Amino acid sequence: MDKSPKAPSGTPDQVLTNRQGHPITNNQSQRTVGSRGPATLENYQFLEKITHFDRERIPERVVHARGFVCYGELEVTGKIGDEPASKYTRAKLFQEAGKKTPLAIRFSTVIGGRDSSEVARDPRGFAVKFYTEDGNWDLVGNNLAVFFIRDAIKFPDVIHSLKPDPITFRQEPNRIFDFMSQTPESMHMLTHLFSPRGIPASYRHMEGFGVNTYKMVNAQGDTVLVKYHFHPRCGLASLTAEEAAKVQGQDLGSASKDLYEAIERGEHPQWDMYVQIMEDHDHPELDWDPLDDTKIWPEKDFPLRHVGVMTLNRNVQDHFNENEQIAMGTGVLVDGLDFSDDKMLVGRTFSYSDTQRYRVGTNYLQLPVNQAKNARVFTNLNGGQMSYRRDLAPGQNPHINFEPSIHNGLHESPREEPNNPPEIRGRLTRSVLERRNDYVQARGRYCTMMDWERDDLVLNMGTLLGQCERDVQERMIWHFLLVHDDYGTRVGEMIGITADDVCNLQPLPKQVLTDEDKSRLQKLGKNGDTIDPAVWGQWTSSVKNYKASAEEVLSGMRDVPTEPATKEAAE
């Protein structure tokens, strides 16, 4: 689909060469003794060509291996909600109405390999690299607002449970639910993932969330806690497992194709960007911890505040250089944005940059797609595999690659911006968050789903649990009944397990139940739960979700009657 003009064949500017610049006069045959061989060792062109081919794949990502990159911009309002952005952050990209910041975004699936299906049930990566004037800002999130776990030490475990069995090399439901049944905090995420939200109809028709809790810092150094949201202006659309199977039977890359073709035809996808703001302390009044990424912040208490619109308007020119080698990291923040003490965020910040250095190389930040395009880069880093320049400042003494120096080397920035985070004192421990409350938000999500989403969730859970061993089935039904009578009862009916079968199960070792959980356990399956979305008020991600068909996905989601996810899109 290359639309560039074609030069006549044989013109001098299109002569094939090797990487040394040598013209290639014969690209059809090796040098051999006679026409039949044997081949000779000094086949330089063949050796250059085949050895590069042998190495033209870098190790695929352990997670988010299959993805698709495109480019765009964020245009901000200069406000956070109805207030000046400067009240909460000094980050320059948010300050002026109409200010545009270029960006790259990578959508992805998490568990599958590089050539896996894009309609598999899986969280979707939603990772944005903003090329700001203060350097790059990476916001590495997902299409679902929460995650399976709250402590990064469990990340290898949850991914191993979701990856193929090391013996059969198949994704096995019994392995997945074996882990999840012993991890009550996962119930909220599972309720999202096994609903239709686990299979977005396209990358254009899904939400994006930062998931982790971050901070904003203003000019006075005052901090607030913040969560990031992106809501698609074309509305949400998802697939049932049945419809997804039809798509997968014809196209493994339907989401990438949809995004690429929409941009090529000028139908540029847009998302409204919002933040939720919370005072920077531990909020003892809440029955959940705001740093727990298995929890949302209910919007009725912490409303969405509009900050701008993201528009995607350009595709990559080279899939490998711009998609395979783009490298995101949660530690990539600009002045005015900061980390919280979120345990998952701290772990991700080390892991992401570490894996990029392993996968792409020591100098991955010198690659064009990863460079800080709108800020100056002067460092004392040098050497390493595939280095192709030094980050020298104009007039810098090239002999000096250390600091401090009195011989015209680099020096520290003369201005240090204030930062007044809360003082934290405590004993070093290895312990879990005190306010875990693992079931209440899963209950809220179950109640605030659309009816078709809830039906599909039950069908998916029952179908997969039907492939699991009895002890795993019983524990999962026990969890679901603690979430909601209807949830546990309906899934249990599909696999022949009732509340009476599991009511004598004891809580898991070290599991902490709230007083409400203990009360529910005494009446397991008979707590009188109702389906009443209104009782929850606004609930993050509980917006209208269009039930897409395979035919609509395969035809590019053209003329699909979805609705904008938020009011700003309609104004």
Q: Which of 366, 389, 421 is the last residue of a domain?
A: 366
Which of 91-95, 452-456, 460-464, 533-537 comes out lowest in average pLDDT? 533-537
Mean pLDDT, rounded, for 8-27: 72
What is the enclosing helix (H) or strand (E) of 59? none
Tens digit of each residue's pLDDT (9 = 90 or more) over 45-87:
788 777 777 887 888 999 999 999 999 999 999 999 999 999 9
> Does residue 425 lie in a domain region?
no
The answer to whether residues 280 and 177 belong to one domain is yes
The answer to whether residues 195 and 327 belong to one domain is yes
Which of 112-121, 258-267, 535-544 comes out lowest in average pLDDT? 535-544
Mean pLDDT, rounded, for 379-404: 86
What Cα–Cα distance (Å) separates residue 217 from each residue in 100, 302, 333, 420, 571? 21, 18, 12, 8, 30
What Cα–Cα distance (Å) separates residue 95 from each residue in 87, 260, 335? 10, 31, 13
Joined tokens for residue 193:
């993932």
- So what's the pLDDT on residue 432? 79
The answer to whether residues 393 and 454 belong to one domain is no
Mean pLDDT, rounded, for 375-400: 86
Mean pLDDT of the chain: 90
> Does residue 419 lie in a domain region?
no
Residue 273 near residue 309, CB atoms below 8 Å: yes
Residue 571 scores a pLDDT above 70: no
Alpha helices in 496-535 (DSSP H): 499-502, 515-522
Residue 307 near residue 453, CB atoms below 8 Å: no
> Does residue 563 lie in a domain region?
no
The answer to whether residues 362 and 389 belong to one domain is no
Q: Sort 43 into a burial class: Cβ within 10 Å, 0-12 / 13-18 / 19+.
A: middle
- Read off the pLDDT band of 417 (50, 70, 90): confident
Q: Which of 321, 538, 543, 325 is nearest to 453 (CA)?
A: 543
Residue-by-residue DSSP string for 165-193: PTTT-S--HHHHHHHHHT-GGGHHHHHHH
Residue 168 near residue 362, CB atoms below 8 Å: no
Q: Which of 366, 393, 420 is the last residue of a domain?
A: 366
> Does residue 431 lie in a domain region?
no
Tell me how far apart the alpha carbons of residues 205 and 443 are, in angstroms, rounded to a whole number.
Answer: 25
> Does residue 71 lie in a domain region?
yes
The answer to whether residues 205 and 331 belong to one domain is yes
Joined tokens for residue 474:
């019983």
- What percent of the chain has a predicted confidence (pLDDT) above 90? 65
Residue 323 scores a pLDDT above 60: yes
The answer to whether residues 199 and 243 belong to one domain is yes
Residue 402 scores a pLDDT above 60: yes
> Does residue 7 lie in a domain region?
no
Measured in degrees and rounded to the nearest 5, phi and psi for residue 442 equal -65, -35
The answer to whether residues 351 and 449 belong to one domain is no
> Does residue 140 lie in a domain region?
yes
The answer to whether residues 443 and 543 belong to one domain is yes
Tell me how far apart the alpha carbons of residues 488 and 490 are, in angstroms, rounded to a whole number.
Answer: 6
The answer to whether residues 407 and 452 belong to one domain is no
User: Bridge partners of 326?
Assistant: none
* Distance spanning both ends of the chain, measured CA to CA: 35
The answer to whether residues 238 and 283 belong to one domain is yes
Tell me how far apart the alpha carbons of residues 204 and 552 are, in angstroms, rounded to a whole number.
Answer: 13
Parent domain of 400: 378-411
- Read off the pLDDT band of 36 (50, 70, 90): confident
Tell me how far apart the alpha carbons of residues 275 and 307 are, in angstroms, rounded to a whole number.
Answer: 7
- So what's the pLDDT on residue 569? 58
Residue 1 scores a pLDDT above 50: no
Between 568 and 474, whose confidence is greater? 474
- Give me the CATH number covering residue 144: 2.40.180.10
Tens digit of each residue's pLDDT (9 = 90 or more) over 498-525:
999 999 999 999 899 999 999 999 999 9
DSSP single-letter state for residue 38: P
Residue 431 scores a pLDDT above 90: no
- Read off the pLDDT band of 105 (50, 70, 90): very high
- Give me the CATH number covering residue 491: 1.20.1370
Q: Which amino acid is at 348?
A: R
Give the active site residues.
64, 142
Q: Which of 366, 395, 420 is the last residue of a domain?
A: 366
* C-alpha Rg value of the chain to the nearest Å: 26
Joined tokens for residue 175:
């392995």
Q: Which of 270, 232, 256 is nearest to 322 (CA)?
A: 256
Tens digit of each residue's pLDDT (9 = 90 or more) over 469-491:
999 999 999 999 999 999 999 99
Q: Which of 304, 300, 238, 235 is nearest to 273 (CA)?
A: 304
The answer to whether residues 382 and 361 belong to one domain is no
The answer to whether residues 397 and 483 belong to one domain is no
Joined tokens for residue 463:
């179908």
Task: Report the domain count for the chain.
Answer: 4
> Does residue 3 lie in a domain region?
no
Q: Is 364 annotated as a binding residue?
A: no
Which of 18-27, 238-247, 309-318, 532-541 comes out lowest in average pLDDT? 532-541
Residue 548 near residue 239, CB atoms below 8 Å: yes
Residue 360 scores a pLDDT above 80: yes
- So what's the pLDDT on residue 117? 95
